A and B are shown apart, each in its own frame.
Chain A
Amino acid sequence: EDQVTQSPEALRLQEGESSSLNCSYTVSGLRGLFWYRQDPGKGPEFLFTLYSAGEEKEKERLKATLTKKESFLHITAPKPEDSATYLCAVPTLEGKSTFGDGTTLTVKP
């Protein structure tokens, strides 16, 4: 069974303080990895898809990277509006996704 573990559970940063979130996974065969952002009471918002080890994708202050066993979401010079829960997920053969429990990021001004 596919498993996804995210760390840390919570991360508090000062505005401008860069850091990384980790997503480790155990899957029978990697078919991609997704990153989502979720604001309280809202639906997850798609950020990135990574398909192969070594792949990187960027969007504003976020950069996602993928290795054979884990993915990192790097946040450079974060702003308070980056505060949210960040979820990673791996898809199954049928297309559904198994989600990690998320990392709740708080960026203080």
Chain B
Amino acid sequence: DSGVTQTPKHLITATGQRVTLRCSPRSGDLSVYWYQQSLDQGLQFLIQYYNGEERAKGNILERFSAQQFPDLHSELNLSSLELGDSALYFCASSVVAASGNTIYFGEGSWLTVV
């Protein structure tokens, strides 16, 4: 158990809908990361927050947004969902937002868009 908690574990929704994925980082970690992993694809970095502020952005679609709240939990909002958005979405956390810091992953949220 990494200590990173993600909810929901599984989610099935229809195209055009909007969903919110939630992440609680490990106790004491200030930085949160979101990654997407599609079938047969590697981990794609979406976005990073550090202590409530956006720190780095990857190939995140405009239909997706995220935020980190004062209690350090984070939410990833996916809207106008398309079939291609079906994937495993991982949240990860680290103590600080500095290179060399180990990133610990949650178990992921399986999103299926039908």
Write the residues of chain A forming the contact surface with B, with a CB cutoff of 8 angstroms.
31-32, 34, 36, 41-46, 49, 51, 87, 89, 91-102
Contacts and interface: CB of A to CB of B under 8 A. Distances in A.
A93 B50 CA distance: 13
B100 A46 contact: no
Contact of B105 (A43, A92, A100): A43
B42 A31 contact: no
A96 B56 contact: yes
Given A42-B107, A96-B48, A91 B42 contact: no
A107 B88 CA distance: 25
Contacts of A36: 105
A43 B33 contact: no
A96 B58 contact: yes
A101 B94 CA distance: 22
B72 interface: no
Interface in B79-114: 88, 90, 92, 94, 96-108, 110
Majority-rule SS of A interface residues: loop
Which 9 interchain pairs have the tightest Cβ spacing?
A: A31-B99, A43-B105, A95-B97, A101-B42, A32-B100, A91-B99, A94-B56, A99-B43, A43-B107
B98 A95 contact: yes
Interface of B: 2, 4, 31, 33, 41-43, 45, 48, 50, 55-56, 58, 88, 90, 92, 94, 96-108, 110
Contacts of A32: 99-100
B107 A46 contact: no
B55 A94 contact: yes
Nearest to A32: B100
Contacts of A45: 2, 105
Contacts of A101: 41-42
Task: Output the residue of A49, A94, A98 with the most chain B CB within 10 A.
Answer: A94
